[in-house]
């Protein structure tokens, strides 16, 4: 059975999402940048028979409009809770990859009482360094001047492990197409949001939420050191390396990724 897109009006903005399954536990998957909800297709199909699983397009990505507002990680987090409230969902497990992880960390800071579990995939708690901010600003200038084609081509080289680029042709194509289908204006606004986000390392030191941290063994963007730092700070966390994967480990090695999710979700379900 295929996945069915749905839409809901949330505070004046039409959010596009996928909503499958009817289990007691609800898992919300938050995509990375500049991707969309379809990056989670494999996970939704794998877990919908046991859980309610939701993936949505973050503001300005996929089929959720950006509108005229400037973007920020706190804004994306507010959007998340407004979306959950409209669906009348009180408690969730959040799985966020990369930018989705940044949103997840803001979410657990705001409403830890609503989050039963946290999956942080290929992400980090640190803010951008000055060097990283400068690089994002140069990327914005390049996109404004030349469009998204060069940016998309360079992005997939950094996002995927070299072996994935050779073997996972469909997945690489999906991500490149998703980037090219995103409005250049929204890509630039999100780059600004990422550059201005605040660190959450000091926040997670006191976090009690059960947390699974996953990182691709060849992730160049948020490498093992970033994942290990979060693991050391979060007392109730486990860390697993996803072999033969870069920054989009759920696409590059879905069997291993889903296996780790299954074990973690069962541990919460059986509490």
Domain of 151 in residue numbering reads as 5-269
Return d(Cα 122, Cα 101) in angstroms, integer. Answer: 8
pLDDT tens by residue, 223-235: 999 999 999 999 9
Say if residues 161 and 245 touch (Cβ distance below 8 Å): yes
Which CATH number characterizes residue 11's domain?
3.40.50.1820
pLDDT of residue 167: 86
pLDDT tens by residue, 80-127: 999 999 999 999 999 999 999 999 999 999 999 999 999 999 999 999
Return d(Cα 18, Cα 40) in angstroms, integer. Answer: 10
For residue 180, cis peptide bond before it (omega within 30 degrees of 0): no
Residue by residue, what is the 3-state secondary structure of the chain? CCCCEEEEEECCEEEEEEEECCCCCEEEEECCCCCCHHHHHHHHHHHCCCCEEEEECCCCCCCCCCCCCCCCHHHHHHHHHHHHHHCCCCCEEEEEECHHHHHHHHHHHHCHHHEEEEEEECCCCCCCCHHHHHHHHHHHHHHHHHCCHHHHHHHHHHHCCHHHHHHCHHHHHHHHHHHHHCCHHHHHHHHHHHHHCCCCHHHHCCCCCCEEEEEECCCCCCCHHHHHHHHHHCCCEEEEEECCCCCCHHHHCHHHHHHHHHHHHHHHHCC
> Quick one: how far is CA 23 from the chain centroid?
22
pLDDT tens by residue, 140-177: 999 999 999 999 999 999 999 999 998 888 999 999 99
- Comparing CA positions, the residue from 119, 68, 114 lying closest to residue 230 is 119
- Largest Cα span, the chain: 54
pLDDT of residue 20: 97
Instruction: Give the predicted TM-score (pTM) of the model.
Output: 0.97
CA dihedral in degrees (209, 197, 86, 258; nearest 10)?
Answer: -50
pLDDT of residue 55: 98
Structure tokens that stand for 115 in this block: 């989050």
Confidence of residue 1 (pLDDT cuts 50, 70, 90): low
CA distances for 141 relative to 129, 144, 185, angstroms? 19, 5, 11
Q: What total number of domains does the chain contain? A: 1
Percent of the chain with pLDDT over 70: 100
């Amino acid at each position: 059975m295929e996945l069915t897109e749905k839409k809901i009006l949330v505070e004046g903005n039409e959010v596009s999402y996928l909503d499958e399954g009817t289990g007691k536990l609800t898992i919300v998957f938050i995509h990375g940048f500049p991707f969309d909800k379809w990056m989670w297709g494999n996970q939704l199909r794998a877990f919908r028979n046991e859980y309610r699983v939701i993936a949505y397009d973050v503001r300005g990505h996929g089929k959720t409009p950006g509108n005229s507002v400037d973007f920020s990680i706190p804004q994306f987090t507010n959007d998340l809770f407004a979306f959950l409230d409209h669906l009348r969902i009180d408690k969730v497990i959040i799985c966020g990859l990369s930018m989705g992880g940044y949103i997840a960390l803001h979410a657990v800071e705001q409403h830890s009482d609503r989050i039963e579990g946290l999956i942080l995939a290929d992400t980090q708690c640190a803010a951008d360094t000055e060097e990283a901010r400068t690089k994002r600003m140069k990327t914005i200038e390049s996109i404004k001047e030349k469009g998204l084609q060069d940016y998309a081509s360079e992005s997939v080289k950094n996002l995927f492990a070299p072996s994935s680029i050779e073997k996972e042709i469909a997945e690489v194509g999906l991500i490149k197409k998703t980037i090219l289908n995103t409005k250049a204006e929204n890509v630039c606004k999100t780059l600004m949001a990422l550059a201005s986000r605040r660190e959450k390392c000091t926040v997670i030191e006191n976090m009690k939420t059960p947390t699974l941290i996953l990182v691709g063994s060849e992730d160049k963007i948020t490498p093992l050191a970033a994942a290990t730092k979060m693991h050391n700070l979060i007392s109730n966390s486990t860390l697993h390396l996803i072999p033969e994967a870069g920054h989009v480990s759920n696409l590059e090695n879905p069997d291993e990724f889903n296996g780790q999710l299954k074990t973690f979700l069962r541990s919460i379900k059986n509490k």
